Structure 1
Amino acid sequence: MSLARAIGGICGVAQRVDDPVADRFRQLIGEPEHLVFVIADGFGMNFVDTLPEDSFSRTNLVLENRVAFPSSTGPNLFSFGRAEWPGQYGAIGWYVHLGELNARATLFPWVRTKDDVSLTDLGLTGEVVWPGVPESLGYKRDSVNYIPSLFSDSVATGTLHGRETVVGYEDLGEVIDRVVERVRTASQPTYSHIFWPRVDNVSHEVGTRHQDTLREVAFVDAELGRFAQLLPKNAGLVVTADHGHLDMPEQRKFVVEPDDPLTALLVDAPSGDERTLMFHVVEGQNEKFATEFMRRFGEHFLLLTADDVVTAELLGPDLVRDFTLARLGTFKAIARYDAGMKFRRGAEGTGLTLNAQHGGLTPAEMLVPVIVA
């Protein structure tokens, strides 16, 4: 949050609140004529710490930062893009229960989860689901957001950045070269943002310790080092991540089957993700659900009421908006340690197939680097 406010301030946006941490970030970044901001998806401190001491990322690490909760891509990309806490804009999980549908939606693919029907066909827009204005539209610089072509045209991307600022790309080396050329030939101050998803993708698939993941981490570090060398002296490079990663052992992957008694107590499948789930409980069944859930899973999960979540300021210190509260539901389960859970519905997959995950409150998920060069 404070990093987003600092970048906004450098780009000419008036600071809306007194934020000493944002002021500190601005001191560390300076006032470069050309600002380049990279979010490497999943590139948490747990991965930076695996790199050699003389690597680019560790040499230029200025501090460790804590991401917004839930420690997932959607909540944190919107925190960066809106300079607001998750309680303000309602992006609080991969799956979100939408009151407009009384059903769960998968927002980044932009579909109703149970049947993959487009939310556009169901009458929804990005502006309805995520109210607010992208912070970068107020930047007093020539601004471009470079997003992988696979989802550069998505509803989420357009709502997050403003469609007119988005440019698609195919690979990291290509986009680095494009940004370097853009900065070198610019006739006015610029802001360039790059989102790179591969560390997250590989870690989900094979885990944090697999050689494929560590090779991707080393590749990103090397490319960032090349980037810093190619940029002219009047440019500043800032790198961070939206979350880290945590391996989930098979013995702590819990699958609740369609015929389980807990499932019958829910309005719909839980929203959130495998590390932090939100339950919309059938009216009058709160006590029964909480008692049964804690009896079976209390060793591995905390179970908080919506009021508990707000009081603990888990979605930020600002007032949580009503539509976010509706999405939060009755209870929120947060995994202890390295557990994960899925409520399976019908033929919806076989269980928890990801080897590493995020979304919870552990340091491996919450701590990310801030790299300045």
Structure 2
Amino acid sequence: MPLILPTGLDSTRNITGVAAQLLGALRGGAVELPTARSAVLVVVDGLGALALRGHAGHARTLAAAMAKKDVAGSVFPTTTAAALTSMLTGVAPGAHGLVGYRVRDPRRDVLANVLSGWESDGIDPLDWQTAPTVFEQAAALGDAAFAVGIAEHAGSGFSRATLRGADFRSAATAAERVELAWELADAHDGALVYCYLPEVDKAGHRHGIDSAQWVSALENVDAALSRRVPDGVGVVVTADHGMVDVPHHRQLVLEAADGWHDGVRHIGGEPRMLHVYAEPDADHAALLARWRRDLDGHADVVSRAEAIDAGLFGPVADAVRARIGDLLVIARGTTALYDAEAEDQRGRGMIGQHGALTAEEWRVPFIRLGVFAH
């Protein structure tokens, strides 16, 4: 089967351009955004554009502000580590190097979790992610830069990889984080403020996007963002990715007894987009053919070279190439694939999943508030 890519993969507004737009708006040089006294980037983790429109009655502030074309494309894979880093550096995963959730560290030939495992997996964020962050770019221009998140993220490896140059502030609830972001933008002319809201993503993973818990999280975020934006401040509300609900009968478990580990050294990535790393002496062509045959109808399986040639990761730096799997397994529909031999099996308990290229995962809102509003 041919690889199914989102419509407008190359032409859609993309989250990698958000940082440049916001910096430009502070100086009157943005293409899409008017000049602002200060700018705020709000990221509602996991909120896909289709899910938001499907629950518009529970998000009246966001839905009312969202015109038909107020969408953007995410990156590949549609996972938090890759997408947030692209948004906060302005470059694609092939350049910043966070090409999945769990990827191979080529120097040690081990899998590393580049979202939450920087310390435990022994990887240096300053070495793995060398692209300048939007906050470092702002500081170089003489602008104040702030990141508002939850306390447990302060000083984490992922924060060191993506929030370098920002003055980190924390608050417990979504409403408190939005309030703090508005206050910082109002008090510091020329400031760039990032506000991270993970509640919708967490509810989706645990309960699914049609659950009462997900709807409640969306309502709380929408209420927080209904707060009046200070005069002269521009706000963009977007997301890193969306998600789909995976029913139990669509979960495929890759058992070693069934031959899934034959010729395979590591299986990384996440259930909607696996990185499969072959043994050094494996027949790569035969491995690719077997995985394609056995997953026909469930997933697209492409080689590293095919993925790079297709531009899925954007331009790929030499140091990043070996982090990408020899095979990429991109789930179709609502399928998820689980490695039965993986030490971490938490993913098998999640209902909401993301990482692949469906419209539900790929398309995210691009909503403008305050001085940026239509």
Fold equivalence (TM over 0.5): yes
The aligned counterpart of 2:20 is 5
Could you list the runs of 5+ residues in structure 2 that have no partner in the other structure? 1-15, 370-374
Q: Residues 311-368 of structure 1: CA distance to partner in whole angstroms, max 9, x if unpaired?
A: 111112xx31122210112111111111110112266438722111111111100111
| Counterpart in the other structure of 2:357 | 361
* 1:142 match: 144
| 1:127-138 matched pairs, under 5 angstroms | 127-138=126-137
Give distance in 1, aligned partners of 2:37 and 2:347: 49
Distance 1:46 1:92, change over 3 A: same
Give per-residue Cα distances to partners, 1:89-142, cap 9 Å, x unaligned: 11111111110220111122225xxxxx7234xxx3112111222122121321
Alignment-mate amino acid for residue 360 of structure 1: A
Letter aligned with residue 352 of structure 1: R
Return the alpha-carbon distance in structure 1 between the equivalents of residues 40 and 152 of structure 2.
Answer: 22
How many Å separate the matches in 1 of 2:232 and 2:287? 58
What SS does the aligned partner of 2:18 have? Answer: helix
Q: Which amino acid aligns with 2:323?
A: R
For residues 38-63 of structure 1, give each alpha carbon's deviation from its aligned partner in whole angstroms, at most 9, with x where no partner exists: 00101111221111398111221241
Note the C-alpha offset of 1:12: 5.7
The CA deviation at 1:224 is 0.6
**Cα distance in 2 between the residues matched to 1:347 and 1:9:** 45
Q: Which moved more, 1:326-335 or 1:163-172?
A: 163-172
Give, in whole Å, the separation in 1 of the partners of 2:223 and 2:318. Answer: 44
1:338 corresponds in structure 2 to: 334
Given candidates 185, 204, 207, the residue that maps to 1:183 is 185
Contact persistence 1:277–1:334 (CA under 8 A): yes
Partners of 2:107 and 2:278 lie apart in 1 by: 17
- 1:273 shift after superposition: 1.0
**Whole-Å Cα distance in 2 between the matches of residues 77 and 309 of structure 1?**
21
Alignment partner of 2:72 out of 65, 68, 75: 65
CA distance in 1, matches of 2:169, 2:125: 19
**Deviation string, structure 1 residues 234-281 (Cα, Å, up to 9, x no partner):** 11111000011111121111011244422132112x121111111111
Is 1:199 matched up with 2:200?
yes
For 2:147, give the aligned amino acid.
N
User: In the alignment, what sits opposite 1:18?
Assistant: none
Q: Percent same amino acid at aligned positions?
A: 21
How far off its partner does 1:199 sit? 0.4
Does residue 78 (structure 1) correspond to residue 82 (structure 2)? The answer is: no
Q: Summarize the Cα distance change of 1:263–1:255 in structure 2 as closer, same or farther, 3 Å threshold.
A: same
Q: Map 1:95-244 onto structure 2 (within 5 A).
A: 95-111=102-118, 118-120=120-122, 124-139=123-138, 140=141, 141-162=143-164, 165-186=167-188, 188-226=189-227, 229=228, 231-244=229-242
- Which residue of structure 2 aligns with residue 250 of structure 1? 248
For the aligned residue pairs, the C-alpha RMSD in angstroms reads 2.1
User: Contact 1:87–1:321 at 8 Å: present in 2 too?
Assistant: yes
Aligned residue among 246, 259, 262 for 2:260: 262
Partner Cα distance (2:144, 2:321) in 1: 36
Helix, strand or coil: the match of 2:103? strand
CA, structure 1 residues 262+68, in 2 after alignment: closer, same or farther (shift >3 Å)? same
Aligned partner of 1:312 in structure 2 is 310
d(CA) in 2 for partners of 1:346, 1:337: 23
- Inter-CA distance 367–7: structure 2 relative to 1 (3 Å threshold): same
Q: Which moved more, 1:208-217 or 1:44-53?
A: 44-53
Aligned equivalent of 1:297: 295
2:273 is aligned with 1:276: yes
CA distance in 2, matches of 1:288, 1:92: 25
SS in 2 for 1:280: strand
Q: Aligned with 1:365: secondary structure? A: helix
Gaps of 5+ in 1: 14-22, 112-116
Structure 1 Cα separation of the partners of residues 50 and 207 of structure 2: 15
Closer, same or farther: CA 349–276 of 1 in aligned 2, 3 Å: closer
**1:164–1:45 CA distance, 2 compared to 1 (3 A):** closer
Matching residue within 32, 35, 41 for 1:37: 41
Letter in 1 for 2:22: I
- Contact 2:185–2:192 (CA under 8 A) maintained in structure 1: no
Matched residue type, 2:312: L
The answer on whether the counterparts of 2:73 and 2:363 sit within 8 Å (CA) in structure 1 is yes
Q: Please tell me whether the aligned partners of residues 53 and 59 of structure 1 are also in contact (alpha carbons under 8 angstroms).
A: no
Letter in 1 for 2:252: F
